[in-house]
Structure 1
């Protein structure tokens, strides 16, 4: 049965600055990988219909359980919708021989101005069954913490 995971956080930064960090390859590579991982884009074209290839590498290969290789997750993504200053919708597929990671996950990132800065909400629809709910929740929270640290230090 399809699963939807959600996470949100208020970031002490203006909405425009937060949104810009959602569509810039260098910014995303800096804050998106959850704790214990690093990331790099092999290609990145942030426009509706554009695509990206993201390689996430575990820092500790001895404890890693990568989907593509023993220590990497590779995401083939495309930008479904970009509404400047409001929302980014991505369709993401993990490279894996394991059918538990098959299928397209839709990630929706929405930003809303609030008194304390910007509320960032993430909704992940059709999460592959191989991704545990607890691990995904921790990963989403870690990415949001990284985004806050990335923007609030500026």
Structure 2
């Protein structure tokens, strides 16, 4: 099995979907907790240049979230609803409040690779190829890479 130590980001050519995958030196339970515990989530999400505060967080099936990332007085707010929360998968909506019509349906999977390693896979379905391509041009790669590096550090420090 191939180990992905860097995040792969793929744009599906036939539907407006972005798929990400990355392996972590941690268990699926640790990855799940990092995505459902608001304090942990705020500590790793996004690029290192941003601070994140949680305004609302109800990580359960039917719950909602809102968080705001900021840098030098500029704020970026995100919100959505958790449609399904279970230990191996999260299904949620995701909206950047700067583009309120751009609602994505995100699915995250936490795959056990054995020997204390896991693969995080995500899929984001948006409403158009233009929206998908806008996400890809938005600096998404930097945010994902830096955020996942912070998440890996939390796992390595046994903070999860």
Query: TM-score band, normalised by the shorter chain?
Result: 0.7 to 0.9
Higher RCO (CA < 8 A, seq sep 6+): 1
Partner of 1:123: 123
Give yes or no for the alignment of 1:139 onto 2:152: no
- 1:73-110 per-position Cα deviation (integer Å, ceiling 9, x unaligned): 111211011122x01111012212xx5x6321122221
SS at match of 1:109: strand
Name stretches of at least 5 consecutive residues in structure 2 with no aligned partner.
Answer: 1-13
Q: Distance in 1 between matches of 2:67 and 2:56?
A: 8
Partner of 2:97: 95
Partner of 1:110: 109
Q: Distance in 2 between matches of 1:38 and 1:123?
A: 25
SS at match of 1:73: strand
> 2:18, 2:132 within 8 Å by CA — same for their partners in 1?
no
- 1:19-72 per-position Cα deviation (integer Å, ceiling 9, x unaligned): 1111100010001122321111111101111001100112x55xxxxxxxxx11
CA spacing shift, 1:148–1:76, aligned 2, 3 Å: same
Name stretches of at least 5 consecutive residues in structure 1 with no aligned partner.
Answer: 62-70
**TM-score normalised over the length of structure 1:** 0.79
Query: What is the Cα-based RMSD across aligned positions, in Å?
Result: 2.2
Equivalent residues, number: 140
- 1:99-130 per-position Cα deviation (integer Å, ceiling 9, x unaligned): 5x632112222111113511111222217458
**TM-score normalised over the length of structure 2:** 0.77
